Structure 1
């Protein structure tokens, strides 16, 4: 099952949520505004990243400047605990599938989470529409 990590008031999170609803894709949502991520969840996410913490920390967060100088000196576990305490430092949405990860919302990239048979059907419908033109 797809796990969607979101934050209240985040437009990109709303778009990801709506995309899954529009395609009738089952997902489990965890809103960081009401329930902070666990260390275990963050480790699961980090296992799927290419660049580790760089991929999930939001340097555009209002909280980032206060911790930016401290991050290089923090241990991995200290950084994970910090992210659990201050989830607003995480980029969002974070979408986790079986062996797939997407950080942030992108219309094209989110298609990887749409089952193949639905993507094929949509493609065939598009082709029929082009032929009818």
Structure 2
């Protein structure tokens, strides 16, 4: 099952939800402001990233700039606690399933959440149109 962590004012969150609906992909939505991610959820997110914490943090957020965080020196436990207490620190949306994570919205990258059978069919159709 796919979980999408969203922020209500985020246009990328709206685009991602619309894309998932358009492709008939079931998901559970979690508004990060009303249902803050737990430390365990944040650990799980980081565990599914390729680049670690940097991949899920919004370095453009007001709070990040205001606090002047140095991600190299803060302990991971303190960072997880801070993110849990201040979910606006997260990029939005974060789309996650049992194996993958996508932070932010990319029309190309979100395709990884299509079922394998659908991706295979789309590839075959693209190959046929080339020939």
Normalising by the smaller structure, the TM-score range is 0.7 to 0.9
**Counterpart position of 2:31:** 31
Unaligned runs of 5+ in 2: none
Q: What is the root-mean-square deviation in Å for CA atoms of aligned residues? A: 2.0
Please report the TM-score for the alignment, with normalisation by the length of structure 2.
Answer: 0.87
Alignment of 1:107-122 (within 5 A): 107-122=107-122
Partner of 1:95: 95
Give the TM-score, by structure 1 length.
0.86
Q: Deviations over 1:92-111 (max 9, x none)?
A: 11111121111110001101
Structure 1 counterpart of 2:14: 14
Check 1:19–1:69 CA distance in 2 against 1; reply closer, same or farther (3 A cut): closer
Task: Using the TM superposition, name which of 110-119 and 11-20 deviates more.
Answer: 110-119
Whole-angstrom CA distance in 1 between matches of 2:96 and 2:33:
18
Counterpart for residue 51 of structure 1: 51
Greater Cα radius of gyration, structure 1 or 2? 1
Deviation sequence 1:36-83 (CA, Å, 0-9, x none): 110010000000112211111111101112222454442111111110
Deviation of 1:24 (Å)? 1.1
